[in-house]
Amino acid sequence: MSKDQRSKELRPQSTGALGVALIGTKFMGRAHSTAWGKCAQFFDLKRPPAMRVVAGRNPEETKAFAAKWGWQHATTDWREILSNPEVELVDISTPNHLHAEMSIACLEAGKHVACEKPLAGTLADSKKMVLAARAASKRGARAFVWFNYRRCPAVALAHRLVKEGRLGRIFHVRASYLQDWGGADTPLLWRFQGDLAGSGAHGDLNAHIIDMARFITGDEVTEVVGSLEETFIKERAFVTNANGEVAGISPSKGGKSASTHAKKSGKSTVDDALLFLARFKQGAIASFEATRLATGNLNRNNIEINGEKGAIKFDFERMNELEWWDHTLEPKLRGWNRIMCTDASHPYAGHYWPAAHPIGYEHGFVSQAADVCAVVAGGAPIVPMPDFEDAYKTQCVLEAAVRSARERRPVPIRELDKF
Ligand SMILES: NC(=O)c1ccc[n+]([C@@H]2O[C@H](COP(=O)([O-])OP(=O)(O)OC[C@H]3O[C@@H](n4cnc5c(N)ncnc54)[C@H](O)[C@@H]3O)[C@@H](O)[C@H]2O)c1
């Protein structure tokens, strides 16, 4: 038995419910609470989750959140979770600058971790997280990342079609994630502050489509050839949260209460849009675009992949559908087929409703929570799970694109993918 195999067996296989804690109570806090609450209803799980404790920042809000979303306890000190023997897995749904500190502390405390994307705001933080996950894996702990779009049945089907060889050699990957909520009226949320978010639309949205492109093609980006970054809205208004803190900056990070803040607005220190071109190892060429200012596009996460035998198109705004072009047919029969991915033969779909009864945004998270529970219990996910090592590859591509834009040069991934 290798040293690696032996060390993985140090953690005795636990049984019964999987005690889960959540940190963060807003957008992803709600999505993940739904997922933990529903996954054992739709999937038969050896170790269903038990929603032990949620950590937030405001005591009253966190208590109300726990009662509403089904958490047994509430706390405003996430570090309490570290010594809680009832918690085996910690779900981190906080802004990006907190991912490293929280994940590493949880892994060192012997917990499994499911952290939101991007892995971190910076490549340096991501490296620390990968090293912590490697050390923790020797004690049997697992570290997952919530790249939820992999679990849309249509995206998982695209992954399978490529794996079955139905697209043949891949020539093109064309991906964009377009939103339009980032106009001048949007205040200086944490998402527009570089020290909290790392980057803007890039880390937020390109992270998803890089992960989807890697997942569907089963291939890796080797080089970012060129990149363009733009911050259109340079100043944004300050807003305060319920604690009187300015736009997501906690007092410990230098944030001030509204009454002590002299200025009404501050500088946005992230991109509003970032576009780049890339090469894949097996020869495909690719374009990626992320923006929060694509007026008319609310959440248009879309990808097209063209191969020698066929092509696929996916657009999250029509998330139950995958478009499929069979190039092996005789020309008179060729055309785009719209596959409604709700049949029991489609990945995940059979766990929900009868054919042509569509699913929605939350189901990607429900399916991911079910896969996390399955893997922790020693089983297999329905399609591959992104762990910290995997998310680090996406993080390297994100970093290469930023360097390429700022240094105006091609950036090979091998320049970054080092420890
Ligand atoms: N997978 C996806 O599709 C998806 C979508 C949106 C956001 N995200 C990611 O999820 C993460 C959170 O984003 P969000 O949209 O939920 O942000 P949000 O601003 O809506 O919520 C952030 C939460 O973190 C909490 N928080 C901040 N500091 C904390 C601390 N020290 N202790 C405890 N709680 C703290 C806040 O109180 C808030 O509840 C980010 O990493 C983001 O990139 C992923």
Structure tokens, 239: 């807003």
Q: Are residues 74 and 118 in the same domain?
A: yes
Q: Assess whether 218 and 265 both reside in one domain.
A: yes
Does the residue 381 lie in any domain? no
Same-domain check for residues 101 and 195: no
Residue 380 belongs to some domain of the structure: no
Domain boundary among the residues 98, 118, 148 is at: 148
| Distance in angstroms (rounded) separating the CA atoms of residues 324 and 316 | 15
Between CA 300 and CA 317 the distance in angstroms is 6
Pairwise CA distance, residues 335 & 323, whole Å: 10
**159 exposure class (CB count in 10 Å sphere: 0-12, 13-18, 19+):** buried
Q: Which residues' Cβ are closer than 6 Å to ligand 1?
A: 23-29, 55-57, 78, 93-96, 98, 116-117, 146, 148, 204
Whether residue 174 sits in one domain with residue 81: no
CA–chain centroid gap for 200, Å, is: 14
Instruction: Please provide the size of the chain in residues.
Output: 419
pLDDT tens per residue, range 163-210: 999 999 999 999 999 999 999 999 999 999 999 999 999 999 999 999
Specify the amino acid at residue 312: I
> Residue 269 has which token pair?
């220190």
Residue 19 pairs in a beta bridge with 50
Q: What CATH number has the domain bearing residue 95?
A: 3.40.50.720
**In the beta sheet, which residues pair with residue 145?**
115
Do 31 and 17 belong together in one domain?
yes
Judge if 276 and 324 occupy the same domain.
yes
Residue 190: give the domain boundaries.
149-356+388-406
Report whether 207 contacts 175 (CB < 8 A). Answer: no
Closest to 243 in 3D by CA, of 69, 2, 20, 76:
76
Ligand 1 atom with the smallest distance to the CA of 189 is 19
pLDDT digits (tens, 9 = 90+) for 275-323: 999 999 999 999 999 999 999 999 999 999 999 999 999 999 999 999 9
Cis peptide before 251 (omega within 30 of 0): no
Asked if the structure places residue 375 within a domain, the reply is no
Looking at the fold, whether 215 and 273 belong to one and the same domain comes out as yes
- Tell me how far apart the alpha carbons of residues 286 and 284 are, in angstroms, rounded to a whole number: 7
Q: Are 322 and 183 in the same domain? A: yes
Helix 123-137 with 99-108: angle, nearest 10 deg: 10
Residue 409 has pLDDT above 90, yes or no: yes
Could you say which of 98, 129, 148 is where a domain stops? 148
| 417 in any annotated domain | no
The CATH number assigned to the domain holding 177 equals 3.30.360.10
Based on the fold, state whether residues 143 and 181 are members of the same structural domain.
no
The answer to whether the pTM exceeds 0.85 is: yes
Same domain, 92 and 194: no
Q: Whose CA is nearest to atom 3 of ligand 1?
A: 148
Protein residue with its CA nearest to atom 21 in ligand 1? 26
Distance between CA atoms of 191 and 301, rounded to whole angstroms? Answer: 18
User: Collapsing DSSP states into helix, strand and coil, what is residue 317?
Assistant: helix
In terms of domains, do 98 and 131 share one? yes
Nearest CA to ligand 1 atom 27: 94
pLDDT band at 10 (very low <50, low <70, confident <90, very high): very low
Does residue 345 share a domain with residue 283?
Answer: yes
Q: What single-letter DSSP state applies at residue 387?
A: B
Please indicate, yes or no, if residue 412 is contained in any of the structural domains.
no
Number of folded domains in the chain? 2
Q: Residue 56's CB: how many other CB atoms inside 10 A?
A: 23
Query: Tell me: the pLDDT tens digits for 323-344?
Result: 999 999 999 999 999 999 999 9
- Confirm whether 58 is domain-assigned: yes
Distance 356 CA to ligand 1 centre (A): 33
